[in-house]
Structure 1
Amino acid sequence: MEIERARTDRLGLLLDQFDKARETAQVRLTGLSDEEYLWEPVPGCWSVRRRGEAVTPRAFGPGEWVLDLGAPDIPASEYAEVARQAADGMTVAKIAEDWSVSIERVEQILAHTGEPEPDETPVTTIAWRLGHLHYQFAGEWEWTFGERRQDPKQLVDFTPSAALALEQFWAVIDRWRDSVAVVTEEQLDTVGFSQYPYGSAPDDPYVSVLWGSNLEFIHHMAEIALLRDLWQARFTTPG
């Protein structure tokens, strides 16, 4: 009997990493209730809300329910990435366009010295984190394997139902994964193979874009897992 060997090619490694992360995430999300999905552990959370109840200036979505989004900025955790973009020859104007901020803001960041102050980022609900991943992977598929014309922020009809959100989310994830699985070595090295409009995908080889997609999936799913742990602790921790 021939033993199946693990793939060690670039695409194989990225797919294997993603598949293991997806398997773990699906187990961790089993039994997610609507109440837990929308739970706001602290005041001022970003979440999925009815259009007229959104608390942020750029909340978006095509239907009744929208995903909170604040004013555009570059967080301190991304200052090093901005510096790399400039070092690689990207103009200040292009960097500003890439991050949807002003040229003055980019110049301020490039002139910054020393350690940046910690970001004051909002806490986001499980609904927000799933919604964020949902529209990103839907958009990445559209702008890599689809018609490359629809705004990613209008592709997902957000919902307050955890079960429906997960059903739709996994369908999008599986479609994206199936398409990635047949990418060729030449396409992996092609700059602009993905034209996803939010971020640097059009300027990067696709293998780098895939690496970033894995990272995005893994870190948001880890955050969701922690929120589930905290939700459970609400009922066991003495008040």
Structure 2
Amino acid sequence: MADIGNSLEKAFDFVWSRFLDRLDGLTDDEYFWEPVPGCWSVRQDDTGRWRIEGDGAGPTGEPTPDPPPVTTIAWRIGHIGGTFIGFGDRLFADGKITVDDMRYASSATDARAFLDAAYRDWREGIGGIDERRWWSPIGPAFGFYAKDSTVDLALHVFDEIVHHGGEVGVLRDLYRRKDELGGS
């Protein structure tokens, strides 16, 4: 049997590198660009702290609007980093980090550092998982998903990078041609 951990680590590293390449040259204007009114983003609160709107699509206790808001690159980067931090904390630590504990990036430059730190910790954690644990249930810290395996969780996190990373790429493409956008 192939080593699932090694395969997942290689896949994560490949997709992560491709995503970071897509962020090269990201400006603050792009990072915060709102292509339509009412976007969710990362904004300063009354205390000056940067927070992700909609709790990063996490458990807010409030229903997500229908349809959900379009989100900025800042929001999507915050969501990707928050996925690594939140799931990593529950899988490798004490599971006490909340969205209020996260320090979201206030600029495109800070976003890269935020992502680098979040991914480094996630990657270090999955690098230490043995074959048995990959196939074991992730446990009560994951609520409804407690009986899912670590592989299931890793594949979900992988999907978050691919999904939202792709959206970031599309938003960057649209931003470069924003002067040509028009309603039709």
- Matching residue of 2:29: 35
- Matching residue of 2:177: 233
Percent of paired sites with the same residue: 31
Residues 144 and 227 of structure 1, relative CA distance in 2, 3 Å threshold: same
CA displacement 1:81-116 (0-9 Å, x = unmatched): xxxxxxxxxxxxxxxxx99589xxxxxxxxxxxxxx
Residues 194 and 223 of structure 1, relative CA distance in 2, 3 Å threshold: farther
For residue 238 of structure 1, report the CA deviation from its aligned partner.
7.6
TM-score, normalization by structure 2? 0.85
More helix per residue: 2
The structure with more radius of gyration: 1
SS in structure 2 opposite 1:124? coil
Q: Give the conservation status (yes or no) of the 8 Å contact 2:15–2:162.
A: yes
Matches within 5 A, 1:146-185: 146-151=93-98, 153-185=99-131
Provide the aligned length of Structure 1 versus Structure 2. 179
- 2: CA distance between counterparts of 1:222 and 1:137? 17
Residues 178 and 230 of structure 1, relative CA distance in 2, 3 Å threshold: same
- 1: CA distance between counterparts of 2:48 and 2:136? 35
- 2: CA distance between counterparts of 1:99 and 1:205? 25
Matches within 5 A, 1:1-239: 8-52=2-46, 64-69=49-54, 120-151=67-98, 153-192=99-138, 195-196=141-142, 200-235=144-179, 237=180
- 2: CA distance between counterparts of 1:157 and 1:205? 29
Residues 149 and 121 of structure 1, relative CA distance in 2, 3 Å threshold: closer
Question: How much is the aligned-residue C-alpha RMSD, in angstroms?
Answer: 2.8
Residue type at the aligned position of 1:224: V
For residue 46 of structure 1, report the CA deviation from its aligned partner.
0.5
Residues 174 and 221 of structure 1, relative CA distance in 2, 3 Å threshold: same
SS in structure 1 opposite 2:141? coil
Q: Give the conservation status (yes or no) of the 8 Å contact 2:137–2:149.
A: yes
Moved over 4 A (4+): 98-102
Unaligned runs of 5+ in 2: none
Residues 183 and 38 of structure 1, relative CA distance in 2, 3 Å threshold: same
CA displacement 1:192-215 (0-9 Å, x = unmatched): 258346xx4423111111111101
For residue 13 of structure 1, report the CA deviation from its aligned partner.
2.2
Unaligned runs of 5+ in 1: 1-6, 53-61, 74-97, 103-118
Residues 101 and 30 of structure 1, relative CA distance in 2, 3 Å threshold: closer
